[in-house]
Structures are given as C-alpha cells and as structure tokens.
Amino acid sequence: MEKQRNEALVRVACVQMEPVIGEKARNIRRSVERIETAADNGAHLVVLPELANSGYVFETREEAFSLAETVPDGPTCDAWAEVAVRRGIWLVAGLSEREGDALYNAAVLIGPHGHIGTFRKNHLWNEENLFFEPGNLGFPVFHTPIGRIGMMICYDAWFPESFRLCALQGADIVCIPTNWVPMPEQDLERDAMANILVMGASHANSVFVAAADRVGTERGQPFIGQSLITNHAGWPVAGPASATEEEILYADLNVADARRERNWNDFNQVLRDRRTDVYGEMLGSGAKRGWF
C-alpha cells in the first residue's frame, strides 16, 4: 500500500554506507536494513550508492561477472523491490548489471509497484573501462507520483550535459548513486569538488539533487563520503555527510514550489535562457521541450 504523503513535500533519504567487495548477500541485507530505517523515518524516496550490492574495485573480469546480475529479475532487484513495494516507497540504487556478455554500471528506479526503469552509467571512470560497457540508455527521466526522476552515476556528474539532459526532460530530482574518489589537488579548505559540481549543476538547472556516496577504503581505493542533498537553488539542505562514517541524510523537498520558483526576475528563467542558437539543443537523448 502506498504511503500517505503531503502532496507538496517529498522526503528524500540518501543512504551513505560501506558495501564490502564480493559480499553481495551481506550488502543486500544491510542495504535493505537501511531502506527500512529510512522508510521508518518517513522517506518517500531512498537513494543508495553506486554498486551498492557488489562493491567497486574488481580485480578480474571473472570476479566482475560473478557479481553482476540481470535487471530487473535478479536477486538484488528482487530484494529491493520487495521492500519498496511493502513500504510503498521509491528507491534509486546502484548495481552491476549483466545483459548477455556485457556488464553495465547501472542504477534502478523501483517504486511501490516494482521496477520502473534502469539507467546505465554513461561516463566510465578509470578501470571501470576494463569491466563495464559505456551506458547506452541516455539519461532517461521517469514520471512518478512524487515527481520526475532522473539518474546519473558518479563521473557522469563531471559532465554538465548529464544534468542538462535530465533538466531539459523536466526532471525535478536528479538522483546520483556514487562512489566518489579523491580528486587531484582537492583544496582542503573548500567543499569537495564533487560537492561543488553538484551544487553548481543543481543551481544552474533548478533541480534538486540527491547524491548518495559510499565510505571506506576498498583494496587500497579510498572513497570520500560527503553525500548531499541540494535544493533547487543548489544549496545543501542535508549534508554534506561525514567523509568516513555511514549515515542517512534526510530532506523534505517541495517539488511544486521548485517548479514555481524558477523565474528569478521578470526576464530570467535559467532553463529558458539557453542560447540554443549558439550551442545547439543538446537533446540527443530524445528529450522533449516544454517542461519548464
């Protein structure tokens, strides 16, 4: 049964956790525990990290294939769909997807009636190129009763085109399952560059962003936590979370007000102000206009 909710407010939870490489059953169990906690706390939409079920640092293709599964009819999606349906919530979570002999670094959107859609990471980072194929589903935006939901994964957020394509298709909330790693030359007196990219893109596209990162060090690779949720002006309304500890961020997002408040003055609405005559439509993903 679907949860009662205030039509205007969507409570989003970002689960910052530490998956353990290879321990899929354990990772699924712990992710479901956290989803239950978030639902207990009134979350309508729960975001989990990238590759939340498998861990990130694969040593061999054999290992990568052994941890991947078909979507949506694999054991991880089954477990996530069970809790989403039972609790009447929406869920965006990262996992390793196998389709034939190809692997994708994927995220699924699951709702109160089960699997809604899948995203495949378009921009592969570093040795992901040894295991995964580049995403081939564009940046789909899904209509749900709580708003239009777009997805991207980690390095996709380094490309402003990713956010633009979501926003131009009307996305209200962009969900980012991520496994952020330290960036070269990080200025330790400032926000993490990953957070700066999220805040800037959220502001420049008037979209909420919910980024759920992992923590911990896996086979020598550290991850930086600092999950965050921004409002449509780009500012954190929850987080940045700890750099090292597991936690759950919560924020209540007013999707209706965000759509209303995109006009910054008598002349400017940032998504309408684009000079497509100068730089083209950038609608390669089949996006339509007229949402904003």
Stretch that binds a second copy, among 6-14, 28-36, 78-86, 199-207 (CB under 8 A): 199-207
Please identify which residue in 4, 100, 190, 260 interacts with a second copy, judged by CB under 8 A.
190
Helix crossing, 160-168 with 193-205: angle to 10°? 30
Please identify which residue in 62, 101, 265, 290 interacts with a second copy, judged by CB under 8 A.
265
- Give catalytic status of residue 154 as yes or no: yes
Total residues interacting with a second copy, rule: CB under 8 A = 58
- CA 144 distance to own-chain centroid: 16
Q: Which residues pair with 14 in a beta bridge?
A: 47, 249
Please identify which residue in 63, 191, 246, 247 interacts with a second copy, judged by CB under 8 A.
191
Per-residue binder mask for a second copy (CB under 8 A), 22-41, x = binder: --------------------
Q: Is 129 in the site for a second copy (CB under 8 A)?
A: yes
Stretch that binds a second copy, among 10-18, 82-90, 94-102, 186-194 (CB under 8 A): 186-194
Record the tokens describing residue 77, joined without a space.
Answer: 């999606």
Residue 241 to residues 24, 200, 201, 273, Cα–Cα distance (Å): 25, 18, 19, 33
Asked, as a colleague might, if the bond just before 72 is cis with ω within 30 of 0, I would say yes
Q: What is the DSSP letter of 17?
A: B
Task: Give CA–CA dist 206/258, Å, rounded.
Answer: 8
Please identify which residue in 227, 228, 231, 248 interacts with a second copy, judged by CB under 8 A.
231
Q: Is 133 in the site for a second copy (CB under 8 A)?
A: no
Q: Which of 24, 121, 128, 175 is catalytic?
A: 121
Stretch that binds a second copy, among 7-15, 52-60, 120-128, 245-253 (CB under 8 A): 120-128
- For a second copy, the binding residues in 232-251 under the rule CB under 8 A are 233-236
Where does residue 139 fall: left (phi above 0), alpha (psi -120 to 50 degrees), or beta otherwise?
beta
Query: Is the Cβ–Cβ distance between 165 and 205 less than 8 Å?
Result: no
User: Token match 């081939």: residue?
Assistant: 136
DSSP string, 29-53: HHHHHHHHHHHHTT-SEEE--TTTT
Q: Is 260 in the site for a second copy (CB under 8 A)?
A: no
Q: Is 122 in the site for a second copy (CB under 8 A)?
A: yes
Where does residue 141 fall: left (phi above 0), alpha (psi -120 to 50 degrees), or beta otherwise?
beta
Q: Which residues are catalytic?
A: 50, 121, 154
**Contact positions vs a second copy (CB under 8 A):** 122-127, 129, 134-135, 138-139, 155, 158-162, 164-165, 183-187, 190-191, 193, 196-197, 199-201, 203-204, 231, 233-236, 264-268, 270, 273-285
